[in-house]
Structure formats: C-alpha cells, structure tokens
Amino acid sequence: MKISREVKIGFVVILTLAAAVWGYNWLKGNNLLVKSREYYAVYANVGGLSTASPVLVNGFQVGAVSDIRLMKDHPGLVLVTFKITDKNFKFPRDSEAKLASPSLLGGKVIEIMIGDSVRNGEFVYAKPGDTLFTRYELDLQGQVNEMIAPLKIKVGSILSAIDSILIPIQTILNEETARKLAEGLGRIPAIIANLERITYKVDTLISSEKEKLSRIFSNVESISENLRNNNSQITSILDNVEEITDSLAKSNFKKAIANATDILEKVDNIVTKIDNGEGTLGALINDDRLYLQIDSAARNLNFLIDDLGQNPERYLHFSLIHINKNKGEGTKKKKVKTN
C-alpha cells in the first residue's frame, strides 16, 4: 500500500503539534506522559520562583511547579500549584512547602519539609488538592542583610560615640589650647634639667649624711631587736590590760550610772527650787530685799564694832570704888554667915 505524500505531511504535522504541546506543558512542569498529583501552597512573595521550578525532598526532585497566579479573594497573596510526579512519594498532611534558594544564582525551589502527623498510630497523608503550610528560607541577600543588620547598628553606635568624643576634643584643642600645649612642651627640657639637678642634690645629701643614716638604721634595728627580746613582757602587759578591761567590763557600771543619774536629778531639783525662789538660798538669789537687809545689817554691825572700839565708855559704866564697895559687902555677908 502506497502512502500518499499528503498523508505523510499530515502525520508529520500531527507529531510536530503533539511534540510542541508536550514540550510546552513540560516546560510548564506538566508532564503529560506521567501521572501526577496536584497540591497547592500560598505565599506572600515568590520572588525567583517560576513554573517548572523543581519540587525537592532532601535534595531529590519529586515534582515541579505547574502554575503561579495571584489569588482573587486575597489580593497580595500568590497561589502556587505544584505536581508530585513520583508515584511512590507520600508525605504527611502537616508537611510544609518551604520556599528555598538552593544556589547563589537567585533561583527558587520548593522543598517539602516532612511532618509527623499521626492518628491512631498511623501517618495521615496529604491528599491531592490539599493546601500545604508554607515556610520561607532567606536567600543569600537576606542572610547577608540579617548578619549585617546587628553589625550596622553597632557601627552606628560606635560612630556616634566617636563623634561625641571628637566634638569636645575639637572644642578643647583650639588655637589658644594648642599654643599653651606647645609652650608646655617647650618647658619639658627645663623641667628635665631641674630634675637632674634635684637628683644630684639628693645624691650628694645622701652621700654626706651616710653616717647619720647608718646610725638611724642601726637605732631602728636596735629598737626592733629590743621589741623582739621583750616580746614576752609586752605580751604580759597586754594580758594585764586585757584583765583590767575585763574587770572593768564586769564591774557594775550600770548601778553607778543609775546612782549618778539620781544624784544629778536631785541636784537639778535643788537648782530648780533655788531658781524658783524656794528656801533661804532661793530667796537670797532671787529676792533683792533679803540681800539688802543682810547687807544693811552687816554694815550696821561693822559700824557698831568700830564705834565700840573707839568709844567704849558709851557702853561700859563702872568705877573702881563701886567695884570695891561691892567686894566689901560681899565679905561682910560671908563673915556673918560664918558666925
């Protein structure tokens, strides 16, 4: 049977179209010749992910991304559809679809992070059409930014500290301060020369007074030797002092203080009474009349004594005759009594 040219051309066209359709779907991640299971994942950002991007499990490809589109009901979120072509691969329902960067070129892949969903001792596997939990892995730029961010903050704080230090330094190191600093540096040779002269004088003084210093050190050594030789006596003296302090501590100071307090209270009462004018002493101190009376009596007594010394006849009236007459009468009376 002879095949016509038109049939051959049509057959080639059909094969070409089939290959084109298969290639197009394969480029999109849909292998029409392989049975696959379809799953979904929702991301906020899918930068670097494209259709036909591989789906990996522990680095092994088990599928590919088949479709990426914005969600109608949730603006800003991206719905990613991927297909698992490995018929032997199953994963638990709580597994996660992590968006990762396997290389430095910027391409993204989906890594299935196997979960551990168990019910009644058996794994609960995800079913085709389920939406998986998602997770993000920082790309190289994100990792670098995450590492540099704390360093950036520290560098900023260091620069601020340096700036705060330099501002006062700039304020201090003005023209006047620089001039004074230069003058001070110019005086350093003179200061060093003065120090050399002082050290020379000190050395000369030590050389001239070497014998005196030797005697002083000898005396100090002698004193320390005496202290060492009389250590037992010093210890005995300290023991005696300790016994004295113990005796004083054991004595009844409390009672003595109480007695002294009573005495002070009594003295205070007496002074209070005197201050209030009670008693003779209080009246004498607080009342001028008693003092004036006593003073007047003392002056009168002094006047009387002076007058008695100067004019005794005013106060003594007697005569020798009268005295003798009294004596004679007395003798007569005595004789009469004897008879």
Mean pLDDT of the chain: 77
Q: What is the pLDDT of residue 40?
A: 94
Q: What is the pLDDT of residue 56?
A: 92
Q: Which of 106, 116, 97 is nearest to 56 (CA)?
A: 97
pTM over 0.85: no
Please check the confidence at residue 110 and state whether its pLDDT lies above 60.
yes
Using CA atoms, how far apart are residues 31 and 52, in angstroms rounded to an integer?
10
Please check the confidence at residue 216 and state whether its pLDDT lies above 50.
yes
Q: What are phi and psi of 287, to 5 degrees?
A: -115, 120
**Domain definitions of the chain by residue range:** 34-137, 209-251
The percentage of the chain sitting over the pLDDT mark of 70, rounded to a whole number, equals 76
Amino acid at 157: S
Amino acid at 299: R
